[in-house]
Amino acid sequence: MKPMGPIPPWFEAEEGMLLIEGSGVAALVDEAGDTPLFVYDMNVVRAKIALLRDAMPDGLHLHYAMKANPYAPLLAAIGPLVDGFDIASGGELEMALGSGMAAERISFAGPGKRDDELRAAIQAGVTINLESEGEAARALGIGEIVGVTPRLAVRVNPDFDLKGSGMKMGGGAKPFGVDAERASALARSVIAAGAEWRGWHIFAGSQALDAAALMETQAATVALAARLSDEVGATPPLVNIGGGFGVPYFPGDLPLDVKAIGLALEEVLTLPPDSLRGSAFALELGRYLVAEAGVYLTRVVDVKDSHGERFAIVDGGLHHQLAASGNFGTVVRRNYPVAIANKFGLEGPEQAVTVEGCLCTPLDRLADKVALPAVEPGDLIAIFLAGAYGASASPAAFLGHRPALEMLVGD
Ligand SMILES: *Cc1c(COP(=O)(O)O)cnc(C)c1O
């Protein structure tokens, strides 16, 4: 047997049936019409946001990085609970505006923004987080052509990274942002060109569970923003200090101590450096807000044995939930938390089961030798922590199976 990640502690069952927001998952599958199905519980999202707001300093803006989960009903529900959306493509721009989010609360990062994407964003009044001097020149040119003053922030590639993060996105040679030593010159030049300068965007990494590392990075981020603002000689309206808050996916992972992070950030922001007095600060989070709210439900099609090992073959797979197969940004394959949803929380003998997706590739392993109750065809397998980087971050067209269904409950 191999260990699995921790099942979020609030999940309960009724007569062995996993409940989501008070409903048995078999009934939710009936309501949706079929498996595979992602169910997202807005109550969990609301609880995570409340926990954060409570822990973080008053007045800190909270942005949702919508690439984590752009499901339209979820966007519409989360919009009123946050201060803005961070987007990274023209498609996300349309989804964000379509959800009812006001353009002035949207910021657009991401390398390789095309001219038509810049144009749509500038015309809408969205802030562009500039990734390079070249992009700045294109944005200014487009602003002139369409007769709109562009709202521009400078994304900075910081001279440090987020220690212990699953995905480093700052420090050293990176495709994201402008190196810190050139950032103030770029800000000065967009101000001189007549753009509305919105401030700084500094994002150092992702999926960190080490509060001390996040505290250190946030302090360094604020210090960097202060130094750059001094060089510009102007106060930035907004300093986006990034995010990187992780969630416990794997064996041994513990929930992030956001209280400790909030206290440390409060200390940093209570007496900000002179050049940041009057600035607003924003945190941008994706998975922290939504990952734990999602469960992926897939039905066992076949149970078979090979060389003494038991396989449960399901109707879903990595084409919907790539991350659980270990092929999305992890070096070593480890087990996400899984359960048989119709035999949840029952006492009794367990056996080692490998849960294999339906794709004809050995990559499609959703759980490796995990302890589960006796598994039979027709059982529903639940994969937890499926609310972020699932349906929208998986190769849905691979092998021609149907896309997963999605459903929001608790709205
Ligand atoms: C991906 C990304 C995020 C969200 O990351 P999470 O790990 O889901 O919180 C936030 N900001 C930027 C710039 C990103 O690229």
Q: Number of structural domains, the chain?
A: 2
Mean pLDDT by 10 residues, the chain (411 residues): 97 98 98 98 98 97 98 98 98 98 98 98 98 98 98 96 72 91 98 98 95 97 98 98 97 97 96 95 98 98 98 98 93 95 95 98 97 98 98 97 98 90
2 lies in some domain? no
292 lines ligand 1 (CB under 6 A): no
Tell me, what CATH number does 238's domain have? Answer: 3.20.20.10
Same domain, 211 and 313: no
Kindly give the distance from the C-alpha atom of residue 390 to the centroid of ligand 1, in angstroms, as a whole number. Answer: 14
68 lines ligand 1 (CB under 6 A): yes
Same domain, 225 and 341: no
Is the backbone of residue 106 left (phi > 0), alpha (psi -120 to 50) or beta?
beta
pLDDT of residue 22: 96
86 lines ligand 1 (CB under 6 A): yes
Kindly give the distance from the C-alpha atom of residue 243 to the centroid of ligand 1, in angstroms, as a whole number. Answer: 7
Q: How many CB atoms lie within 10 A of CB 3?
A: 13
215 lines ligand 1 (CB under 6 A): no
> Could you tell me the sign of the dihedral formed by the alpha carbons of 395, 45, 255, 381, in that order?
negative
Kindly give the distance from the C-alpha atom of residue 66 to the centroid of ligand 1, in angstroms, as a whole number. Answer: 8
Same domain, 116 and 251: yes
> Could you tell me the sign of the dihedral formed by the alpha carbons of 148, 151, 156, 161, in that order?
negative
pTM score of the predicted model: 0.96
Tell me, what CATH number does 403's domain have? Answer: 2.40.37.10
Contacts with 248 (C-beta within 8 Å, 6 or more apart), sequence order? 5, 6, 209, 254, 255, 385
335 lines ligand 1 (CB under 6 A): no
pLDDT of residue 164: 72
Kindly give the distance from the C-alpha atom of residue 380 to the centroid of ligand 1, in angstroms, as a whole number. Answer: 31
The residue segments making up the domain with residue 153 are 70-285
| Position in ligand 1 atom list of the atom nearest CA 289 | 9
Same domain, 229 and 305: no
| Position in ligand 1 atom list of the atom nearest CA 291 | 8
359 lies in some domain? yes
Compute the distance between CA of residue 90 and CA of residue 132 in angstroms, rounded to an integer: 18
Same domain, 297 and 366: yes
Compute the distance between CA of residue 182 and CA of residue 397 in angstroms, rounded to an integer: 41
Same domain, 99 and 238: yes
Question: Tokens standing for 4?
Answer: 């699995």
Q: Which of 262, 285, 308 is the last residue of a domain?
A: 285
46 lies in some domain? no
115 lies in some domain? yes
| Position in ligand 1 atom list of the atom nearest CA 246 | 7
pLDDT of residue 161: 83
| Position in ligand 1 atom list of the atom nearest CA 207 | 7
- Output the residue whose Cα is nearest ligand 1's atom 6: 286
64 lies in some domain? no
108 lines ligand 1 (CB under 6 A): no
Best mutation site among 113, 200, 284 for ligand 1 pocket (most ligand atoms within 8 Å of CB): 284
| Position in ligand 1 atom list of the atom nearest CA 388 | 8
Query: What secondary structure letter does DSSP report for 161?
Result: -
Q: Which of 285, 304, 338 is the last residue of a domain?
A: 285
For the purposes of burial, counting CB atoms within 10 Å of the CB of 307, is it exposed (0-12), middle (13-18) or buried (19 or more)? exposed
266 lies in some domain? yes
HEC readout, 223-292: HHHHHHHHHHCCCCCEEECCCCECCCCCCCCCCCCHHHHHHHHHHHHHCCCHHHCCCEEEEEECHHHHHH
pLDDT of residue 167: 66
Same domain, 239 and 217: yes
Same domain, 279 and 388: no
| Position in ligand 1 atom list of the atom nearest CA 245 | 9
240 lines ligand 1 (CB under 6 A): no
**Rg of the chain over all Cα atoms, to the nearest angstrom:** 23
- Output the residue whose Cα is nearest ligand 1's atom 13: 203
Kindly give the distance from the C-alpha atom of residue 236 to the centroid of ligand 1, in angstroms, as a whole number. Answer: 22
Kindly give the distance from the C-alpha atom of residue 279 to the centroid of ligand 1, in angstroms, as a whole number. Answer: 22
- Angle at CA 330, nearest 5°, toward 324 and 334? 50
65 lies in some domain? no
- Output the residue whose Cα is nearest ligand 1's atom 9: 286
249 lines ligand 1 (CB under 6 A): no
Same domain, 303 and 350: yes
Q: Which of 263, 285, 307 is the last residue of a domain?
A: 285
Query: What secondary structure letter does DSSP report for 4?
Result: B
- Output the residue whose Cα is nearest ligand 1's atom 4: 286
Same domain, 352 and 279: no
Q: Which amino acid is at 234?
A: A
315 lines ligand 1 (CB under 6 A): no
| Cα dihedral 166/170/173/174 (nearest 10) | 80
Same domain, 101 and 219: yes
236 lies in some domain? yes
Same domain, 296 and 395: yes
| Position in ligand 1 atom list of the atom nearest CA 155 | 13
87 lines ligand 1 (CB under 6 A): no
Compute the distance between CA of residue 7 and CA of residue 342 in angstroms, rounded to an integer: 15
Question: Tokens standing for 126?
Answer: 């969205």
285 lines ligand 1 (CB under 6 A): yes
